[in-house]
Amino acid sequence: MERKLAGWWRELLGVEVVRPEDHFLEIGGNSLMATLLSNRIESELGVEVTMVDLFNTLRDVAALCEQLREELNA
């Protein structure tokens, strides 16, 4: 999950490297980009995350997405 999200972050933010401890805002994200990312997560992963959720580390966002997917499949 981290790899998939990191790829989306790199694409959206135009950065070459995204580490698990990186925060979306700190590496160039903003609320518009967070909305775009949230929409992509919902369409491709089938889970809803808030913009506030996306302002955490990549590791935390990946863990949240995994948790939400598990809850959907339970």
pLDDT at res. 66: 97
What would the pLDDT profile of 11-63 be if each residue is shown by its tens digit? 999 999 999 999 999 999 999 999 999 999 999 999 999 989 998 999 999 99
CATH topology of domain 2-73: 1.10.1200
Residue 74 has pLDDT above 90, yes or no: no
Chain centroid to CA 55: how far?
9
pTM: 0.92
